[in-house]
């Protein structure tokens, strides 16, 4: 069980990747007091945890309601995650998340209250987007029993706490790593994500081929 939790945490870590949202978080909370900045980080990370918990419990049910087989979703999700990993290794970021350079921060600050901006765009889609949600559903579809489902939720709690700590230290991390350091970290996470995606694809093929044969 401990090994499974670590494996799931690793997958969440490279997919959710709070470091990719540090610049946006700093821009959106510019001029905020430390207390308000802490509230934004807390709501953003609570949103991540709720999203992971919801799709862990209801993800497989949603697939069945839509008539999508687990194997097909695993294969599609694995390909999506692999494409994300390729972009990260090429230094192009996550293709299914918004480009921060083209993100209208001033418009978001004017249009959204403090807590709303914590949910959108900081938590969704900057930290947990389609790739992260797909991975949650894939992992939840492979487990059975309360203990295994709890393992995914525990992993979600751990990564949410990690995201909170990363956001609260956003200024220091940005100064310490700089653009080059963040780019290198993104490439390393892309390599780890590629390995995760291959496992998902192989699992999907194993699920599909017996039915096809």
pLDDT tier at 212, thresholds 50, 70, 90:
low
Q: What is the pLDDT of residues 194-211, one digit of tens each?
A: 888 888 888 888 888 875
* Number of helices followed by number of strands (H, E) in the chain: 9, 0
Mean pLDDT within 51-76 = 89
Is the predicted pLDDT of residue 62 greater than 60, yes or no? Answer: yes
Q: Where are the domains of the chain?
A: 2-212
Mean pLDDT within 97-104 = 52
Mean pLDDT within 159-185 = 87
Q: Which of 53, 198, 25 is nearest to 17 (CA)?
A: 25
Q: Which two tokens stand for residue 20?
A: 């990719």
pLDDT on residue 143: 81
End-to-end alpha carbon distance in the chain: 32
Is the predicted pLDDT of residue 122 greater than 60, yes or no? Answer: yes
Mean pLDDT within 54-77 = 88
């Amino acid at each position: 069980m401990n090994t499974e939790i670590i494996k799931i945490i690793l997958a969440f870590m490279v997919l959710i990747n709070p470091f990719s949202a540090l610049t946006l978080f700093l821009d959106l909370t510019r001029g905020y007091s430390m207390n308000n900045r802490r509230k934004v980080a807390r709501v953003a990370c609570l949103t991540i945890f709720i999203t992971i918990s919801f799709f862990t419990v209801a993800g497989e049910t949603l697939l069945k309601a839509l008539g999508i087989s687990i194997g097909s979703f695993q294969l599609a999700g694995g390909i999506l995650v692999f494409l994300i990993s390729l972009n990260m290794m090429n230094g192009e970021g996550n293709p299914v998340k918004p480009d921060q350079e083209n993100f209208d921060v001033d418009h978001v600050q004017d249009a959204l209250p403090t807590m709303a901006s914590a949910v959108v765009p900081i938590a969704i889609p900057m930290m947990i987007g389609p790739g992260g949600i797909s991975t949650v559903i894939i992992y939840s579809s492979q487990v059975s029993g309360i203990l295994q489902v709890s393992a995914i939720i525990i992993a979600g709690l751990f990564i949410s706490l990690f995201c909170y700590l990363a956001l609260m230290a956003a200024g220091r991390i940005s100064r310490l790593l700089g653009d080059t350091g963040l780019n290198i970290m993104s490439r390393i996470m892309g390599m780890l994500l590629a390995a995760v995606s291959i496992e998902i694809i192989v699992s999907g093929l194993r699920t599909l081929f017996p039915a096809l044969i």
